[in-house]
Structure 1
Amino acid sequence: MLVVRLPASSEAVEPPQAPEAAPKRLNGRRTFSRSSTVGSEACKALSPPPVLERSKLAYEVPTPSALPSYARESDDSERDLGLLYKSLWEARRIAVVCGAGVSVSPPANIPDFRSATGLFARLKERFPNAGLTSGKDLFDARLFQSETSTALFYAMMAEFKDMADAAQPTLFHHWLKRLDMDGRLQRVYTQNIDGLEAKAGLTLGVGSPEALASRTKRKRAGRAWQRSQSDSAALPTAHEAPYPQPQPLFPRAIPLHGGLSTLSCMLCAHTQSLDTERDAGAREALDTLRRGDPVWCARCETADELRTSAGLRSRGIGRMKLNVVLYHGENDTAEHVGACVERDLLGLHDPHEPEVCPIERAMPTLPVVAEGQDDVGDLSMSSGDVQADDALASAFEEEKPVLCTPVVDKPRRRRPMPPDLLIVAGTSLKVPGTKRIVREFSKACHARDAGKKQAPVRVVYMNYDFPSAASEWAGVFDLWIQGDVQRAALGLCAPWPHRPHADPAMEAFVAQHSWQALSVPRPPPASTLRLVSRKLSTAPRRAGKPRAPARRTPPLGPAPGLPYSIMFAVRSMFRAGSRAAVPFRTFATSSSRLANTLLFVEHKKGAINPATLSALTAAQKLGGEIHALVAGSPSEAKSVAEAAAKVSGITKVLVSSSDAFSAQLAEPIAPLIQSLVDSQSYTHVVAGHTAVGRDVMPRAAVLLDSAQVSDIISVEGEDTFVRPIYAGNALATVKSSDKVKVITVRGTAFDAASAEGGSASTEDVDAGEAPTPTKFVEEKVSESSRPDLATASRVVSGGRALKSAEGFAKYIEPLADKLNAAVGASRAAVDAGYADNALQVGQTGKIVAPELYMAIGISGAIQHLAGMKDSKTIVAINKDPEAPIFQVADLGLVADLYEAVPEMTEKL
């Protein structure tokens, strides 16, 4: 990955503010110019609260972050940016993922969240007595459990709504609109909730996948209308619809985290607009939120009055909530967003077109000079595009009516076009869902260049800082532009020929600027460029009439490197009344294209083992969907599957119930894993590094002909992992070349995934009848009221210095009870019979990482240190000052344990 740094500049790049444009008629409708100032005088009078105002310090260039190990700083900015210019010129399907960094600059001035001057830090300063560990607590769905935090959330979101209403789009938003006008913007996935994409002229929302089902009916109705018209019929006027128009499946901009435009009832799901310009009820609701009071659902109130008057029982009145996605909360639009991402990755076309262009979107027309010509000619992609270009250009002329484009009798079938350029801007990539979208789009973009020695720039990251945990982004980005996002957008949009912007002030501003912070020459003038298959070329061309460039054909067969199997095939279709076959391209996808990882869910007595939740966190770093396998007895499998479906990060739960799985023995479970991997084409099988995981995964690896990777503590890539060796004294980076990676994960090395917030589907799986020579007889477990050793936050361990089991009971157990801690033991104490084998801590026992670990009478053998060295705080008590345990201890006490421990217990 190349890195290009933009030098710091004290000037803020801010587009000019144009006065509100007068309304004009467009296609028979009264509308406003797309770049007019959005907001009434009442909204302009709203001044943003001081707590939410962006500090001047936030505009200073942050300290450049260290480059990832796989990145290198550009030694030739002109050359590398020239590659970016070339890729931008050639791109026909540009996908954009943006975050808060695109809205922090003037004239938006929307605060970001995670920076030192961001919203989280300021909220904590503003409410010091609210008990907030971070401002992030006010974006957690659990805040509704407290009336105080709920009132703070309402007031804070009302202030944020005021700021969003007063904000105006930045240069980056105008650049997105320019790409959309050129017909090259595939989709914008935004993490912002301010709605500035809509103010810039992009359609904003999540769409409705249900429209897919009705699209075929609309097509049939439109074609029936065409057949009913005679050939000599006059063309429809601007006030008449030529035939039933298909509605957009998905808008151009998709909000990943919701928005501030609507309220929805938490009881009946009724929605209410928050358009304060046109709706008096919206202004009243916003005033209620500003006071910290809840807004009650009007529909529920009406229904409750009717039920009460009829003598029926009241069902209550629901609260209205802002449609903003919170941490640990449900995302009601997740299914719609997932459907849109899937269609974009496959390259399926959308009937969403500009209002003035009822047929397909017009592609950009680039200037072309043929040999022997003096002037720049206009080379259109096809004759149909000329009509579309004329319609689109006439839409922005002053007071000129626009006639609908004539209906095409035989619309051209458009082949799938996956994205060819991904731009990620202004986001720290902390949210798992956004990270997955970026990875999948990066795979789709890079799949276009599989097998090429010199690939163009396909994925660009624009931000001041690179995402944390940079190792997981190896191979994802091709170019990192480090600097201000607005300056980067200005530099990208200034040199290129484009359709005139609706705002003359914005057009003049862009025309006067180049890439301000970087002395990079513009690309060669348009008169020296020639378009061949939409690629730059300076090769001579024979004089004569320009011909349309040849269309690029997708390869036959599965494209290597694609994120899921897409098989292109050439088929034939005979139309009625036609003698010849009309070839067209279609595609088929496997049903498991997104199913990459199979997670084995370990459970006991109906509860999921915490080690499984840690393994899920590791599995999320691999990318792709995660399917969970629940294998258990018929009495437990259903309840465990319901709990697994609620875990955040799991997309599907596979349930297999059989009495053979009641004890979770490896012999029946390993063949089940093999059959699922063979049928669903999983690339990874993940489980916790527990006694059950260490029993099941090696057998499954043998059946899958794979080498198991055990006890990993870090994920460096889809095939690269880090695991400890030599009793934890060294770390090995292991790269697996197996088709299926079988992995066990150390639970203490990864944070546990949230057990709430998910909404996975469930599917029953045939258990089969794998013969097994092993039969479960009974399990003897010592009952204890103390916390479980593997998951306890405090652990008190004793060694052989206690001399007897009575010593454990007299010195270790009372101290553990006072601290509400679990009891552990070294291997020497277990072998001597002082403690039970289940209490052993070490390489051959349990590996723990509590907040507090007390080692009493333990010398610190290397095997014991391997099982507890990741503890947050280690306290050691030993009378030998040279004991190895003091080398890893945070606090050490050289004393006789028979005197120090009773005194410590008495003082607690």
Structure 2
Amino acid sequence: MPCLILSQESFDEKVPSSLSKRVANRPDLKTSKLRHLSITEPSEKDKELLKQVNKQISKSRKILVLTGAGISCNAGIPDFRSSSGCYELVKQEYPDAAIRSGQEMFDISLFREEQKICIFATFMEKLYSSARVAQPTRTHRFIAHLKNRGKLLRCYTQNIDGLEENLGLEMSSERDCDTSMANQWRNLDVVQLHGDLNRLSCTQCFKTFNWNRGLSRCLRSGQLPSCPRCEDSSTQRSLMGKRNTGSIGLLRPNIVLYGENHPSCEFITQGLNLDIARGRPDLFFIMGTSLKVDGVKKLVRNFSKQVHDRNGLVVLINKTRIGDCNWHGIIDYQILSDCDAWVDHLKEDIPEFFKTQQQVEKARQLKRENSILRKRQREERKLTPPSTPSRKKATAQKSVKSEIHKSNDGASTPEDSCPTLFTKGERTSQESVLLKLQIEDQKSEPLSLLDASSLPSLGGDNSMSNHTDTTIEDDPTDIDEDLPISSYSTLSRKQTV
């Protein structure tokens, strides 16, 4: 008896051809070095590569998104580091201020100088006013579409404008102690890594407040308003005869400045660990950022590892190039394009990906109903016998009828008119035999039209001997015995006429 256990070497050599073809046909789009692609004037090789990347995007199921200020530029909100960004605007508007770089306006050390506080308050009020009238861009709507399709795992944004909230996306806010951390994190769509410009927070008690006209007027004048909660607490202590601490906080935009910790850093850190451990993303979009912040760099590396472990792709969409050597093996492709232009390109290349969830569910329902209907029809065919003759029988009847017409036109004998009907050793069904008999009866003349004297008697051998003046010239014994019985009867009738 031959041994059925194969060694590992022999098993590797005998891999089925179907499996090997399946692995070979799947394109390996993961790169060891960052590759730059353009959608405006791509080469033929880049066109084919872009199609393969877009095809894998359409098949993705769990997508992570990291966004920067570049996705809000088309909404009228300036970015930070470009030639027309916030840093340059600060230096142009306040040339006399002792500001070496615009980044100092977003550093925690600015609260040490009154002049910088004044510039910070004025600039933040202008930025809030522009963000208040801005409308979400096509890139924001693309993120909301991923949420609608159930493909968005999480969107991490460095932006402070909060335009995603206008599209119904759930934004990260203060930690809700009445809800478990996992449930609150599961319901979040957008995590604001650098805070929210649409809220004001106290520098002392960290209580958050909404903007109003009075607060906006105070910031526009270059002053930070006092915290109402701290003032009420101080007043209550004075009324109770307690010592007044004199510490009343100031309200500033609820954003994270350089050099300070995020007020919800513990909550965000726990959520990040959940997404890394259990998220299982298969695609990672980095949009509109040059990746200069250290914390964001670390986040990209951690998420990139998880995506690559699931054979996914990491794609950066930004107009300016990033340092290639720092991102080899981490980012697969950088598409040198404006984010909104890339969304338009993607919509043109894979329109099925941009169908709404309602359209997808309707198409699935129609497909499901058609499948059930076809299955039911197959079962009915098996249970009910066919009421009409099959196609083969129908074609056979047509051929027989055509032969009848041909024989009526000029054939003299049944053998000449229907040679195929009376072949030797033919096996036919009962219906075919009856049909042949009907054809032969139609070809023969009715007995009522014949002369009774010319018919042979039905009495047997004696009747045959009384008719010696018959018109049959051939000897009856010369009739071919191989002919069928129906043919023999027809031939005798013809010859006795």
The two structures share one fold, judged by TM-score above 0.5: yes
Is 1:5 the counterpart of 2:45? The answer is no
Question: Hey, what does 1:234 align to over in structure 2?
Answer: none
CA contact (8 A) 2:208 2:254 kept: no
CA contact (8 A) 1:101 1:425 kept: yes
Alignment deviations for residues 822-865 of structure 1 (CA, whole Å, 9 cap, x no partner): xxxxxxxxxxxxxxxxxxxxxxxxxxxxxxxxxxxxxxxxxxxx
Alignment deviations for residues 425-482 of structure 1 (CA, whole Å, 9 cap, x no partner): 1100000111111111110000113xxxxxxx511011112223x3120101112111
CA contact (8 A) 2:160 2:255 kept: yes
Is 1:298 the counterpart of 2:228? The answer is yes
Work out which structure has the larger RCO, using CA pairs closer than 8 Å and 6 or more positions apart in sequence: 2
Question: Hey, what does 1:802 align to over in structure 2?
Answer: none
Paired letter, 1:273: N
Is 1:430 the counterpart of 2:279? The answer is no
Alignment of 1:238-637 (within 5 A): 249-274=186-211, 282-316=212-246, 317-347=248-278, 417-449=279-311, 458-468=313-323, 470-494=324-348, 495-500=351-356
Rounded Cα–Cα distance in structure 2 between residues aligned with 1:121 and 1:460:
29
Rounded Cα–Cα distance in structure 2 between residues aligned with 1:501 and 1:174:
14
Question: Hey, what does 1:117 align to over in structure 2?
Answer: 84
- Larger-Rg structure: 2
CA contact (8 A) 1:207 1:251 kept: no
Rounded Cα–Cα distance in structure 2 between residues aligned with 1:141 and 1:214:
29
Alignment deviations for residues 297-339 of structure 1 (CA, whole Å, 9 cap, x no partner): 1111111112112221112221112111111122212222222
Rounded Cα–Cα distance in structure 1 between residues aligned with 2:55 and 2:162:
31
Compared CA separation, residues 249 and 500, structure 1 to 2 (3 A): closer
CA contact (8 A) 1:96 1:189 kept: yes
Is 1:79 the counterpart of 2:48? The answer is yes
Rounded Cα–Cα distance in structure 1 between residues aligned with 2:112 and 2:43:
51
Residue 214 of structure 1: CA displacement?
A: 7.3
Alignment deviations for residues 615-662 of structure 1 (CA, whole Å, 9 cap, x no partner): xxxxxxxxxxxxxxxxxxxxxxxxxxxxxxxxxxxxxxxxxxxxxxxx
Which of 125, 134, 154 is equivalent to 1:158?
125
Residue 92 of structure 1: CA displacement?
A: 0.9
- TM score, norm. by length of structure 2: 0.62
Paired letter, 1:254: V
Rounded Cα–Cα distance in structure 1 between residues aligned with 2:96 and 2:207:
35
Compared CA separation, residues 439 and 545, structure 1 to 2 (3 A): farther
Rounded Cα–Cα distance in structure 2 between residues aligned with 1:91 and 1:207:
31
Rounded Cα–Cα distance in structure 2 between residues aligned with 1:483 and 1:266:
40
Higher helix proportion (structure 1 or 2): 2
CA contact (8 A) 2:146 2:152 kept: yes
Question: Hey, what does 1:88 align to over in structure 2?
Answer: 57
CA contact (8 A) 1:137 1:143 kept: yes
Rounded Cα–Cα distance in structure 1 between residues aligned with 2:115 and 2:181:
46
Rounded Cα–Cα distance in structure 2 between residues aligned with 1:490 and 1:336:
35
Residue 187 of structure 1: CA displacement?
A: 0.7
Residue 154 of structure 1: CA displacement?
A: 0.6
CA contact (8 A) 1:208 1:250 kept: no
Alignment deviations for residues 146-182 of structure 1 (CA, whole Å, 9 cap, x no partner): 1110011011000100000010000000111111100
Alignment deviations for residues 779-807 of structure 1 (CA, whole Å, 9 cap, x no partner): xxxxxxxxxxxxxxxxxxxxxxxxxxxxx
Question: Hey, what does 2:438 align to over in structure 1?
Answer: none
Rounded Cα–Cα distance in structure 1 between residues aligned with 2:187 and 2:322:
29
Alignment of 1:794-813 (within 5 A): none
Higher strand proportion (structure 1 or 2): 1
Q: Does the residue aligned with 2:73 lie in a helix, a strand or coil?
A: coil
Compared CA separation, residues 332 and 460, structure 1 to 2 (3 A): same
Rounded Cα–Cα distance in structure 1 between residues aligned with 2:151 and 2:94:
46
Rounded Cα–Cα distance in structure 1 between residues aligned with 2:261 and 2:353:
44
Residue 191 of structure 1: CA displacement?
A: 0.7
Compared CA separation, residues 467 and 181, structure 1 to 2 (3 A): same
Rounded Cα–Cα distance in structure 1 between residues aligned with 2:215 and 2:180:
36
| Structure 2 stretches lacking a partner, 5+ long | 1-33, 377-497
Paired letter, 1:480: Q
- TM score, norm. by length of structure 1: 0.35
Report the count of equivalent residues.
332
Q: Does the residue aligned with 1:95 lie in a helix, a strand or coil?
A: strand
Residue 249 of structure 1: CA displacement?
A: 4.3
Is 1:208 the counterpart of 2:175? The answer is yes
| Structure 1 stretches lacking a partner, 5+ long | 9-72, 216-245, 275-281, 348-416, 450-456, 508-525, 531-540, 547-908
Alignment deviations for residues 732-786 of structure 1 (CA, whole Å, 9 cap, x no partner): xxxxxxxxxxxxxxxxxxxxxxxxxxxxxxxxxxxxxxxxxxxxxxxxxxxxxxx
Compared CA separation, residues 129 and 214, structure 1 to 2 (3 A): closer
Residue 78 of structure 1: CA displacement?
A: 2.7
CA contact (8 A) 2:58 2:353 kept: no
Rounded Cα–Cα distance in structure 2 between residues aligned with 1:113 and 1:328:
17
**Over the residues paired in the alignment, what is the CA RMSD in angstroms?**
2.9
Q: What percent of counterpart residues are identical?
A: 34
